[in-house]
Amino acid sequence: MGSEAGGQDEVTILRDELATLRSQLEDAEAQRKEAEARALRAFAELDTVRRRAAGDQDRARDAGLDAAVLPVMTVYDDLRRALAAAEGSDPASIVPGVRAVMETLERNLEKLDIRRVGEVGDAFDPDQHEALTSAPLQEGAEPGTIADVFEAGFMRGDRLIRPARVVVYQDEA
């Protein structure tokens, strides 16, 4: 009978260990579910942050574009007034108004730290200018300098926005 009692003790011990292991497994499963829920919440929060950041970026880009367009709108209004004033009068009278509009535009561009590049007589620089063609060297002109400007170029700081499209005097050859 002693061996039967020893077997009972062993069964009891094994049942207790099994109950302990089941309890630990349930705890581990609960912790896994909790960690999974936290991970899902973190992913959802990250997605929300990404969407907000994209929206903020869009709003900032739009605000920047609005700030850049406002000076152009002033030029538009000035040109419209100049054209209205020129209708029915001497077309030559529009020149001073158009010149004033151009000066206003240049001032507005300066406020945005945008400067024009590519003036007649400047040395040709392939980093800032696009040579459309060349012209024969004229008296008093330097070879490799700009003879004519078809489109002005513009820079903001050290960054080229648009190259000047120019005609360049040929090298002596």
Measure the CA–CA gap between 94 and 85, rounded to whole angstroms.
7
Average pLDDT over residues 35-60: 94
Domain 115-173, CATH class in plain words: mainly beta
pLDDT at position 84 is 77
Q: What is the mean pLDDT of the chain?
A: 87
CB-CB contact of 169 with 143 (8 Å): yes
If one compares 23 and 69, the residue with the highest pLDDT of the two is 23
pLDDT at position 155 is 93
Measure the CA–CA gap between 88 and 9, rounded to whole angstroms.
118
pLDDT at position 23 is 94
Q: In which element (H, E) is residue 130 found?
A: strand 129-135
Q: Which of 3-12, 40-49, 97-106 has the lowest mean pLDDT?
A: 3-12
Q: 1-112, what's its fold? A: Hemagglutinin Ectodomain; Chain B (3.90.20)
If one compares 144 and 98, the residue with the highest pLDDT of the two is 144
In this structure, which amino acid lies at residue 95?
V
Residues 2-23: tens digit of each pLDDT: 556 666 788 899 999 999 999 9
pLDDT at position 5 is 64
Q: pLDDT grade, residue 157 (50/70/90)?
A: confident
Sorted by where each begins, the domain ranges of the chain are: 1-112, 115-173
